[in-house]
Each structure stands twice: as structure tokens, then as C-alpha cells.
């Protein structure tokens, strides 16, 4: 999968989060769940886990538990409900090696891959936590929109360094502009999440550039949605500190 396709996937996933965030918490939770499902299927293939179906099951179940816990939690801070799911994912990743052992020499890699993928997918629930934080609802839209614009900017030229700078600038400008537009949040909160969004895109692009191309479409999709899921917890921190 080429960088342009991966950036398009990131932009589409971010647009789903932004649009669902406008529609409400229930729609946002549904949108995030769909993105988590793509992540669960593609991540084990991206990291070439020996038993991809088992790893997919752990990631999918753990991330959905995390999402349900955050969506149904009664009191702030909502993100605290995610801790149990993260611990369960790690334990499940270890147990899978007992019942479905990987080839000799690949056990640690398999456990790390499943645990990492589960953690990234589970942190996508933070988007819902942001939406449920009083006064931070618009931050979801600003951050997701910044992420989509930064993803597009990250493939405008053939130079990786130039693209990285463009992505950061695009995220900053988009976030700042939406910060001025939304009265519920200060402009600097929008600027912060814009830079975070741009940084997430840059990091994932750099990692993808150094690794072999994904072996199939599912693996490529996982690499594309990773920045969207991983940015959720950073946006939540920004919402709690600067807005909520």
C-alpha cells in the first residue's frame, strides 16, 4: 500500500470521527467501534503475528470492552474505566501463547504485537471520553478535522521531511481556526490538538516508511487507522486540561 492510499484511509477514518462527533455520543461510539474492528483485523497481519485470528479476537474484544466501559461510565474522568480493559488485553495476550504457542523465538514478538495493538485500539475509546467531558464536545470535531487535513498534507510532495513539516503546519492551522470558530473552546486548545494530530500522522508515516510495505490490504488499513485511534487519548488530555 502506497503512502497516498494510507493517508486517504487516515483522512477517511478521521472524517468518520468528526462527523460522528457532530451527530452525538452514540454515533461517535459506533464510528469508533467500526474503526477498532478494522484495526483488530489488520494489525496482526501488519506485524505478521503467527496466529492472526487469535490476536484479532483479543484486540477486538478488549477494545470493545474499553469502548463500552467509557461509553457507559457514570462519572468523570471517564477514561479511568479503560484501565481494566488495558490490563485484560495484556493478560489475554500472554494467555494466548499458552494455548496457541507461536513458533520458537517468536513468542515475545507475538505477545508484544497483540498487547500493543490492543492498547492502541482500546485508547480509541478516549474519543468518546472527550465527547462526554463537559465543554469539550467540539474538541472532538476540531481534533479529527485537523487529523484529516494533516493526513492529506503529509503526502503532498515526494520529500518525507517536507511532508512532515506540512502535516504539522496543516494540523496547527486547522486546529487553531476551529478553535476560533467554536465558542466552547479556546483557540490554543485547538492549536494544541492540531499539532498533536499532525504529530501522530508524521510518526506513523515515518514508521511505515522504514518498514516493509504491508502484506495485504487489511494490514495497510490498520496502519492507516492507527493515528486516529492513538490520538484519542492525547486529545482527551488536552480536553481535560484546557477545556473540561
Report residue 166: phi and psi, to 5°: -65, -40
Reported confidence tier of residue 243, pLDDT bands at 50, 70, 90:
low
Mean pLDDT, the chain, integer:
86
Q: Which of 7-11, 22-26, 88-92, 234-238 has the lowest mean pLDDT?
A: 234-238
Looking at residue 58, what is its pLDDT?
94
| Residue ranges per structural domain of the chain | 3-242
Looking at residue 33, what is its pLDDT?
95
Reported confidence tier of residue 158, pLDDT bands at 50, 70, 90:
confident
Reported confidence tier of residue 241, pLDDT bands at 50, 70, 90:
low
Q: Which long-range contacts (CB under 8 A, 24 or more apart) does 152-159 make?
A: 152/7, 152/11, 153/198, 154/3, 154/7, 154/201, 154/202, 154/205, 155/3, 155/4, 155/7
Q: Residue 24 corresponds to which cell in the numbers above? A: 452525538
Q: Is the pLDDT of residue 244 over 60?
A: no
Q: Which of 60-69, 129-138, 191-200 has the lowest mean pLDDT?
A: 129-138
For the segment 212-218, the average pLDDT, to the nearest whole number, is 75
For the segment 202-211, the average pLDDT, to the nearest whole number, is 75
For the segment 95-111, the average pLDDT, to the nearest whole number, is 86
For the segment 4-16, the average pLDDT, to the nearest whole number, is 90
Q: Give pLDDT tens digits for 123-154.
A: 999 999 888 887 777 888 989 999 999 999 98
Q: Is the pLDDT of residue 94 over 80?
A: yes
Predicted TM-score (pTM) above 0.85: yes
pLDDT over 70, % of the chain = 94
Instruction: Tell me which of 208 and 61 has the higher pLDDT.
Output: 61
pLDDT over 90, % of the chain = 37
In angstroms, the CA 86 to CA 116 distance is 10
Cβ 175 vs Cβ 52: under 8 Å = no
Give the 3-state secondary structure percentages of the chain, helix then strand then coil, rounded to 5.
80, 0, 20
For the segment 101-120, the average pLDDT, to the nearest whole number, is 88
DSSP state, 134? T
Amino acid at each position: 500500500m502506497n503512502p497516498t492510499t494510507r493517508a486517504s484511509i487516515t483522512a477517511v477514518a478521521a472524517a468518520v470521527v468528526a462527523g460522528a462527533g457532530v451527530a452525538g455520543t452514540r454515533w461517535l461510539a459506533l464510528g469508533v467501534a467500526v474503526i477498532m474492528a478494522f484495526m483488530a483485523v489488520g494489525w496482526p497481519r501488519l506485524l505478521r503475528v503467527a496466529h492472526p485470528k487469535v490476536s484479532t479476537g483479543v484486540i477486538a474484544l478488549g477494545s470493545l470492552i474499553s469502548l463500552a466501559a467509557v461509553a457507559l461510565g457514570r462519572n468523570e474522568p471517564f477514561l479511568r474505566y479503560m484501565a481494566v480493559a488495558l490490563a485484560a488485553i495484556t493478560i489475554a495476550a500472554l494467555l494466548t501463547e499458552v494455548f496457541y504457542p507461536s513458533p520458537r523465538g517468536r513468542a515475545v514478538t507475538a505477545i508484544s504485537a497483540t498487547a500493543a495493538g490492543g492498547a492502541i485500539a482500546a485508547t480509541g475509546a478516549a474519543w468518546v471520553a472527550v465527547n462526554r467531558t463537559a465543554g469539550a464536545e467540539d474538541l472532538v470535531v476540531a481534533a479529527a478535522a485537523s487529523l484529516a487535513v494533516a493526513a492529506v498534507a503529509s503526502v503532498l510532495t515526494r520529500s518525507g521531511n517536507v511532508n512532515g513539516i506540512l502535516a504539522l503546519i496543516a494540523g496547527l492551522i486547522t486546529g487553531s481556526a476551529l478553535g476560533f470558530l467554536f465558542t466552547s473552546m479556546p483557540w490554543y486548545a485547538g492549536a494544541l490538538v492540531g499539532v498533536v494530530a499532525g504529530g501522530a500522522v508524521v510518526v506513523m508515516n515515518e514508521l511505515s516508511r522504514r518498514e516493509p510495505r504491508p502484506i495485504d490490504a487489511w494490514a495497510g488499513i490498520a496502519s492507516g487507522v492507527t493515528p486516529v485511534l492513538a490520538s484519542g487519548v492525547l486529545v482527551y488530555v488536552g480536553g481535560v486540561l484546557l477545556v473540561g
